[in-house]
Amino acid sequence: MEYRRLGGTGLKVSELCLGCMTFGRETDEKTAAKILDRFIEVGGNFLDTANVYAAGASEEILGRIVGDRRKDLIVATKVRFNANIFMGKTVGPNQIGLSRGHIMSEVEASLRRLKMDYIDLYQVHSWDFETPIEETMRALDDLVRHGKVRYIGASNFAAWQLMKSLWVSDKHDYARFDCLQPQYSLISREIEREILPLCRYEGVGVIPWSPLGGGFLTGKYRSGQRPPEDSRLAKMDMWNRLADERNYRTLEAVEQVAKERGRAISQVALAWVNQQPGVSSVIYGARTEEQNEQNLGAIGFSLEAAELAALNKASALPVEYPNAMRARLPGYPRQSYLVRFPSHSGRG
C-alpha cells in the first residue's frame, strides 16, 4: 500500500481509504471486523465514517473492532446532519447544522460511540447556509486546540464555499481545512472544472467518495437493461440519471481496459481516480469480504498513459465557460484545466 501526505500536512494516509458507511447497515459487525482486518493486513491505515451512518451504528461498530490498533490508524468522521431526519423523524432546530452548539455536542457523541479520545480527521458533511462560516471555523479551531480533533476537512463543498472557508481561517488564524471529500469518478468528473484546481493551488488534499459511480462501474449493469431490484442503484432511484449514452460509453472503455489488463472493472475505475493529480486517498466501500478483496486489487496497479487517455476521452465532459474561452484567446493556456498548480499556501 502506498502512503501519501494528506494535502499539505505531514499526516501519511494509505492510498485507499476504507469507507465504513455499510457497517451496521448492509454489513454486520462480524463481517465488518474481517473487512477491517484484511484492510489493515495489506497496509491500509485510513478509515472514514460519519455520525449519521447507520444512525450511529457505523461509529459504534468501528470503535469496537478497532480495539488496541487505534494508534496505528487514521480515523475520520463527520458532522452536520442528524440521523433522525433520514428516518422521517422531527429534530429540534439546534440538533442539525454547523453551529458551535451542534458541533460541540456531536463531537462528544462521536467520541463516545468510537470509544476514542480524539478524532484524527473531523469533517463537515456539507455547507450550512444558516450558520456563519466564521462560527463554524472557530468551533473547529477550538476542537483542534483542545486536542479532541487533530485535522479538519470538508465534504461536498462548492469551490466558492471551500475558498471562503480557507479565507476565514487565514484571516483569523484558525485551523484550516486540510482536505476535501467530494464525489469523483469517471462518471462524475465535474469537480475537475474548479474544485480540483483550487485544491491543488491551496494545498488541500482530496479524498474522493463513490469512485465506482455508485456501483455503475462494476460491470453489473448493461445498456437497455434495468438494474437488479436489490441493487444500490435501483434502491436509491439513481438509474434514470446514470443510464445515458456518455456513461455507457465510459463503461465500455473501462471494460476494454480491464479485459486487456486482466483486471476487474472496479479495479480499473479505482486506479483512474487514484492517479488523478491532487488525490490523497480514494474512499471505497464494501458490503462483503469478496467486494473488499476485489477493491483491494487496485493496490499496486497503475494505468498507462494510453489507457488514461482512452478513459479520459470516453468520459469527457463538455467544456464550459470560462474554460471554453481558451480556444479563442491567443496566448491562453491550452492544457487541461486539471493543471498541476504549485501550492501558494505554503502547505504542499
Closest CA to 265 of 217, 231, 304: 217
DSSP state of 5: E
Amino acid at 17: C
From residue 128, how far is each of 90, 124, 135, 202 by CA, in Å?
18, 9, 11, 22
Question: How many CB atoms lie under 10 A from the CB of residue 67?
Answer: 10
Cell of 338: 486539471
Task: Kindly report whether the peptide bond that precedes residue 182 is cis, defined as omega within 30 degrees of 0.
Answer: no
Q: How far apart are the first and last CA of the chain?
A: 22
User: Please, how many CA atoms are within 13 Å of residue 249, restricted to the half-sphere of its CB?
Assistant: 11
Q: Which of 3, 53, 122, 174 is catalytic?
A: 53
Which spans in 123-194 are helix H? 133-145, 159-172
Contact in structure between 315 and 246 (CB atoms under 8 Å) = yes
From residue 271, how far is each of 49, 69, 150, 178, 281 by CA, in Å?
22, 28, 29, 23, 11
Contact residues for 337 (Cβ-Cβ < 8 A; gap 6+): 192, 193, 197, 323
Question: How many CB atoms lie under 10 A from the CB of residue 183?
Answer: 17
- Residue 53 falls in the annotated catalytic set: yes
- Residue 89 sits at φ, ψ, to 5 deg, of -95, 155
Catalytic residue positions, numbered: 53
